[in-house]
Amino acid sequence: MNVHDYVGDVGRFNNILWDMMNDLRTEAASASNKSADKEVNITDNQKLYGSAWCLPYHSKDNCSWCLIGNESTTLESLRFELAKIEAATNKFAKENRIGKGGFGEVYRGILSDGQEIAVKRLTGSSRQGAVEFKNEVQVIAKLQHRNLVRLLGFCLEGEEKILIYEYVPNMSLDYFLLDTKKRRLLSWSERQKIIIGIARGILYLHEDSCLKIIHRDLKPSNVLLDSNMNPKISDFGMARIVAADKIEESTGRIVGTYGYMSPEYAMYGHFSVKSDVFSFGVMVLEIIHGKRKGCSSEPEGIDDIRRHAWTKWTEQTPLELLDPNMEGPYAREEVIKCIHIGLLCVQEDPNDRPTMATVVFYLNSPSINLPSPHEPGYFKRDKIEDNKTTNKEFDYTSDSINGITLTKFFPR
């Protein structure tokens, strides 16, 4: 079908089109002839067809970049007028506010075509200039994956710095883990779907996007759930873009959320893709357990979920970790496998943790022998206190402050 012939839910159509084009880009870049074709069902009697071609002598990475399109054209197409955003949010009306944090406030809005949007209005205290803001919008806009919240555009008028995202109706995973009644709605199939979706989203950031990105703030409140309970990773305020061949980086300013930071990052400022793997492992254990356990702004008690899971594992009673309030059937072997994977991800030595590619392989393999996990990494309070006497800056929070601070531009 021609895209101009479609009549229906514009937001849904745009999401389907976006996913299809991203799949085409990935498939074409990987193909020997640098081309790909795809068709997807829009309705029972409507299909959308797409094709992508690139010059056959391009490398995979260059082809991927080429298919993304012209930089300036892409940026200009993302620009929203402030008046349009004010109309969508009823001038940032209080009843439309759906979130608030150190970065600013988030509002639900409805565009004139009926599409729902989430509007993140950054605080005026942001240290970023207009050029830096636009550059980083351009980077985030390149992240195209069904398990990442999609950036629709931005507004830069006067003192206003605004980001416009797709609206995700089911709030965050954190909401389901904290609210008893909502938590009962999560079946095992939904939990497994959420775990696999998060893993795929992180893998895309680490290996499959045109940039190598370390999120650095993976936690349930930064995982949104759409109407079909598909997870979408959000909040790239602390993400770092690193060189493709870089194994580890260090920072003098350590920011993040207790309970989800890897020990090497919390204590020494060292971060890598394995830091995200650690955070993912904590989330896996929490999703299975059915609640957040001991994640706060203080170091005491932050290791509870890891200690609890490790105890059940060593006692050979891993299923006792499973949420007793969970409804519906589940496969015993699948639950144990997910607990096993979670424990592999939270091992103390980063070298022992699997990559996200390996994690996705484990999750997609119906029968596989996994390596035995070592004891999880825990925080050492005395080491943290010792480090605070050095010239490192620490900003541990229970709910991290996110703006838009992607740094270091390194295409693959």
Which residues make up each annotated binding site?
120
For residue 98, give every residue at least 6 positions away whose Cβ sits within 8 Å of its Cβ, in sequence order, or none. 106, 107, 108, 118
Q: Is the separation of the CB atoms in 117 and 166 below 8 Å?
A: yes
DSSP 58: S
Return phi, psi of residue 94, to 5°. Answer: -60, -35
CA angle 100, 103, 106 (to 5 degrees): 40
What is the SS3 assignment for 350-386?
HHHCCCHHHHHHHHHCCCCCCCCCCCECCCCHHHHHH
Tell me how far apart the alpha carbons of residues 390 and 325 are, in angstroms, rounded to a whole number: 46
Confirm whether 304 is a catalytic residue: no
Residue from 322, 255, 317 nearest 285 by CA: 322
DSSP β-ladder status, 393-397 and 253-257:
parallel
Given 23, 217, 303, 323, the catalytic residue: 217
The secondary structure element, H or E, covering residue 254 is strand 253-257
Placement of tokens 């514009």 in the chain: 10
Distant-in-sequence, close-in-space partners of 156: CB < 8 Å, separation ≥ 6: 79, 130, 133, 134, 162
Question: Which residue is listed with tokens 């290996």?
Answer: 207
Find all residues with CB under 8 Å of 123, minimum gap 6, and list them.
102, 103, 104, 403
What phi, psi does 342 have (nearest 5°)?
-60, -45
Q: What is the C-alpha to C-alpha distance for residues 389 and 385, in angstroms, rounded to an integer?
A: 7
Beta bridge partners of 53: 35
Residues annotated in a binding site for ATP: 120
Instruction: Tell me how far apart the alpha carbons of residues 7 and 200 are, in angstroms, rounded to a whole number.
Output: 31
Start-end of H helices in 146-187: 173-178, 180-183
**Hey, what are 46's tokens?**
């409507």
User: In degrees to the nearest 10, what's the CA dihedral of 198, 114, 108, 400?
Assistant: 30
Q: Which residues form the catalytic set?
A: 217
